[in-house]
Every structure is written in structure tokens, then in C-alpha cells.
Amino acid sequence: MAERRRAGRLVVPTQQAPADKALLERSAIEELSHHADPWRVLRILSEFVEGFDALNEVGPAVTVFGSARAKPTDPYYIAGRSLGAALANRGFAVITGGGPGIMEAVNRGCHEAGGLSVGCNIELPHEQALNPYVDLGVEFRYFFVRKNMFVKYARGFVIFPGGFGTLDELFESLTLAQTGKIEHFPIVLFGSEYWKGLLDWMNETVLASGAINPEDLKLMTLTDDPDEAAEMATRPLPVEIEDEREPTGQPKADAR
């Protein structure tokens, strides 16, 4: 099995390129466009169907992003665990990328508090296994399919400190909110010290140059408190949520 890796619901040889890479490589597209691409479209469609089918009954949820490199002793890991519990106690599921670090912390806190802990994993060159605190795990081949799930099944985002992937999700969510694709969708930044430099640059450079409007900066809120982050991310929508899950606050039997 060391020579094979997960690819969605399949196990494939490690020498086979990840699906995203095969889709985006120009040489592969030019060579196989008349033969492989129609079938690739069907595989992408099937991945959307599998994702929709798996997550359709999740109920109200909050998606949380953050670094995969945070250790259990990291203050942000500890805060992520507290956030997961706070969301579970409010009757919300949590959705993460399913990996280690902040993702594991949030899944862990939610799982231990009796909530529904969801992980949307992704095929990577170096396999990223689902963390052990995921109650419902779904594996994806394509980043853009996975991103759709993060937005479609969430009532809001909480974004912890992280690297390129986290920044990508932050700016994609801001773009969707700015353009009205997602309305009344809380975007909460956790960690004022971490985000200060970016927010200063957006104010002093991006806003000052006229590239965005002052109202665009109001799309984000900032906090250092897990309970406040949970409150911000679950503020009522303009319409009632009829299927809201009752908060249990009861730990799972295997919680430690």
C-alpha cells in the first residue's frame, strides 16, 4: 500500500498525477483533449454529486480554516478546540479540511462536545489523512469542488492563522461576499496579532489606492475569543433556520 494513495473514493498508484494537476497541465490537455476531457467532466460531476449527497443532511454548520502545521501546544490549536466546542454547544456542526493542525483542533473540540464534526479532505502529492476527530469525512480530488462544499453547507466562516491555503480561502470568501454571491455570511478572523499586518496593508494600500471600497473592509470581523468567534459566526440570518440542531453539550463516549 506504500506505493498507492487515496484519490477520492479510489486508490491509485502514487506515480499517477493528482487529478488537479492532470486537469491543469497544458501538455496533458493538448494531448488528450479530444479523448480524456469529456470523461474528466463526468468525474468532476460525480464528485459534486458525492459531495452533495454526503453533506446534504449536515444541518447548520460553520466552516473553519487554519494552518495544518499548528501543534497541540500552539495557543491557536487550543483556541480552535475551544471554538469547536462552542459551536457544538450552539447546535452547529463544524466543517474543516479534515487535516491536522487547526483543522484537527476544531474537529476535536466539536467531536468531544457532542457535535457533528465534518472533514472535507483533498488529494495531495503527500497523502493527508483525515484526523481522528472527524465524524463525517468526504475525500475530494479537485480543489474547486471541495471549496464549493465549504461555502454551500456553511452559515459562516472562521479563519485562523494559516498559510497560502488559508489566505486563498479568506480572499475567495471575501470576493464572494463583496460580489453578492454569498449574502449575510459572517467572515470572522481569529487572532488580531496575526492578521494586523494584512489588515493594515489593506487599509493603507489597497483601500487608499481605490481598489476596494470602505464598506468592503466591513465584511470581516476580528476577535481573539473563541466564544465571541462562535457568536459572530452564528448570528441569525434574515430568514429563519427551521432545521437548526438542538445543542446537546454532551461529550461523546470516546472524548478525552
Query: What dotted CATH number matches 58-233?
Result: 3.40.50.450
Q: Which pLDDT score is estimated for 123?
A: 74
Rounded CA gap, 239 and 82, in Å?
A: 28
pLDDT per residue rounded down to tens, the chain (256 residues): 445 444 444 444 455 566 666 666 655 555 555 556 677 888 889 999 999 999 999 999 999 999 999 999 999 999 999 999 999 999 999 999 999 999 999 999 999 999 999 999 987 765 577 899 999 999 998 999 999 999 999 999 999 999 999 999 999 999 999 999 988 789 999 999 999 999 999 999 999 999 999 999 999 999 999 999 999 999 875 544 445 445 444 555 554 4
Picking from 137, 94, 139, the residue whose alpha carbon sits closest to that of residue 114 is 94
Domain ranges of the chain: 58-233
Rounded CA gap, 209 and 203, in Å?
A: 9
- pTM listed for this prediction: 0.80
Rounded CA gap, 149 and 152, in Å?
A: 5
Cα–Cα–Cα angle for 218, 221, 224, rounded to 5 degrees: 160
Q: Which pLDDT score is estimated for 59?
A: 93
3-state SS class at 12 = strand
Q: Which pLDDT score is estimated for 197?
A: 97
Rounded CA gap, 66 and 75, in Å?
A: 13
Residue 225: Cβ-neighbour burial (10 angstroms; 0-12, 13-18, 19+): middle
Listed in order, strand segments (DSSP E) in the chain are 4-7, 10-13, 61-65, 93-96, 117-122, 136-140, 157-159, 187-190, 220-223
User: DSSP string spanning 189-209?
Assistant: EE-HHHHHHHHHHIIIIIITT
| Paired strand residues for 220 | 187
What is the CB-side half-sphere exposure of residue 160 using CA atoms within 13 A? Answer: 30
Length of the chain as a residue count:
256
Rounded CA gap, 2 and 245, in Å?
A: 41
3-state SS class at 161 = coil
